[in-house]
């Protein structure tokens, strides 16, 4: 992969010819960035269009990959396979861009419901869970209140998504395949053998719009259930060497910044930080965070969550040149590399997607429109 990127930039270090691309990608969040890089690695001519919004769910996400989720400490779906693929991909990106994106990060979790303790203890002895979970204590030198029921989760890691997205954008701009603009659906002309958009023609268009995907007229039948997330970035005096999960998560982001969140609101009227969100965040934080919090930034964005908590990936049922890569939700850091590659296998070779992520599972909703 690294060799190809280097030679691709050397060969195409000028704007792509107008009018003809292989793939047009709408949206340059995490999903769109990764899909574009993977497409370029396969030798495809790519053009990316992004509206340039500052606070998106990708750009403010913690980027934590956690193998053990939920109150019952359940192993994340397909974690071993997805994690190995994601780690290799992000390491390749570090070599490609000469930057550090992926960080191993121990995670300490508090058991909030004592009813699950026996089950969690049993999992520490289980062959499938034992390497991930072990009893621990909160380090005494930290500024987090001690708890009698804490477990260390191994094999967690964090990806600096905002810096990765920025590095991708600079690269796309350098090779002339990026446009900051609002996509206008009424200017998309779908033909049998290609699509046309303004002065460009392409074989395929892939929509990676995040939460805005619920307003896409081609895929508006899909069961998006967007949530509004709110979080703090806290200034800290002392470096935290682990991530911590209680009512909220505390995740070291930079040498003096802690990511703190996130709240989820199912009902909302905008994507702005709210007074209610600030109040709830502070109340939850006081339960376990000893210092008086210094709020560096209060951030909010809309997540593209889905009813069944699985991604929305695949080909439009009747407009065969149109595809979607969306609905990655809170696990996008883990899911995007693997399923971006699988989507390209579908586009290039008609290889089927996993049925759990294929939008074909919602064919009845499209038929009911």
Digit-coded pLDDT (tens) for 193-239: 999 999 999 999 999 999 999 999 999 999 999 999 999 999 987 77
Neighbours of 282 (CB within 10 A): 14
* Orientation of helix 2-11 relative to helix 79-97, angle to 10°: 40
101 neighbors 164 (Cβ within 8 angstroms)? yes
Cα gap 289→259, rounded to integer Å: 13
Q: Which residues of 108-122 are buried (b: 16+ CB within 10 A; e: fewer)?
A: bbbbeeeebeeebee
Q: Where are the beta strands (DSSP E) in 181-246?
A: 188-190, 195-197, 200-207, 227-235, 243-245
- 267 token code pair: 């009902």
Residues with pLDDT less than 50, the chain: 1-18
Give the residue from 1, 10, 91, 15 showing the smallest Cα distance to 46. 15
- CB burial of residue 82 (10 Å; 0-12, 13-18, 19+): buried
- 124 token code pair: 């520490």
Q: What is the pLDDT of residue 368?
A: 63
Domains of the chain by start residue, with CATH: 2-59+162-223+309-367 (3.50.50.60), 106-155+227-303 (3.30.9.10)
Digit-coded pLDDT (tens) for 16-67: 444 589 999 999 999 999 999 999 999 999 999 999 998 899 999 999 999 9
């Amino acid at each position: 992969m690294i060799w190809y990127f280097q030679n691709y930039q050397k060969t195409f270090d000028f704007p792509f010819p107008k009018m003809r691309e292989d793939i047009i990608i709408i949206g340059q969040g995490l999903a769109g960035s990764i899909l574009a890089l993977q497409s370029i690695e396969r030798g495809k001519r790519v053009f990316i269009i992004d509206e340039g919004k500052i606070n998106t769910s990708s750009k403010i996400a913690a980027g934590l990959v956690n193998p053990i989720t939920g109150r019952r400490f359940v192993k994340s779906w397909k974690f071993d396979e997805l994690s190995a693929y994601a780690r290799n991909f992000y390491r390749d990106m570090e070599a490609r861009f000469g930057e550090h994106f992926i960080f191993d990060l121990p995670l300490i979790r508090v058991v909030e419901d004592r009813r699950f303790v026996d089950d969690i203890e049993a999992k520490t002895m289980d062959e499938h869970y034992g390497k991930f979970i072990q009893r621990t204590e909160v380090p005494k030198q930290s500024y987090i209140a001690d708890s009698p029921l804490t477990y260390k989760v191994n094999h967690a890691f964090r990806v600096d998504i905002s810096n990765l997205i920025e590095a991708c954008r600079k690269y796309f701009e350098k090779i002339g395949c990026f446009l900051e603009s609002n996509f206008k659906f009424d200017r998309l002309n779908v033909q049998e053998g290609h699509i046309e958009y303004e002065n460009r023609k392409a074989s395929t268009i892939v929509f990676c719009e995040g939460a805005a995907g619920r307003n896409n007229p081609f895929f508006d039948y899909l069961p998006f259930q967007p949530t509004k997330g709110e979080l703090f970035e806290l200034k800290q005096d002392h470096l935290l060497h682990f991530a911590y999960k209680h009512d909220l998560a505390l995740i070291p982001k930079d040498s003096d910044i802690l990511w703190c969140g996130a709240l989820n609101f199912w009902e909302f009227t905008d994507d702005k930080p709210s007074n209610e969100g600030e109040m709830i965040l502070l109340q939850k934080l006081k339960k376990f965070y000893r210092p008086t919090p210094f709020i560096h930034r209060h951030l909010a964005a809309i997540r593209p969550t889905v009813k069944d908590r699985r991604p929305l990936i695949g080909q439009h049922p009747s407009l065969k040149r149109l595809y979607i890569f969306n609905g990655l939700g809170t696990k996008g850091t883990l899911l995007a590399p693997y399923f971006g590659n699988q989507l390209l296998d579908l586009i290039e070779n008609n290889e089927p997607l996993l049925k759990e992520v294929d939008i074909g599972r919602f064919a009845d909703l499209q038929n009911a429109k």
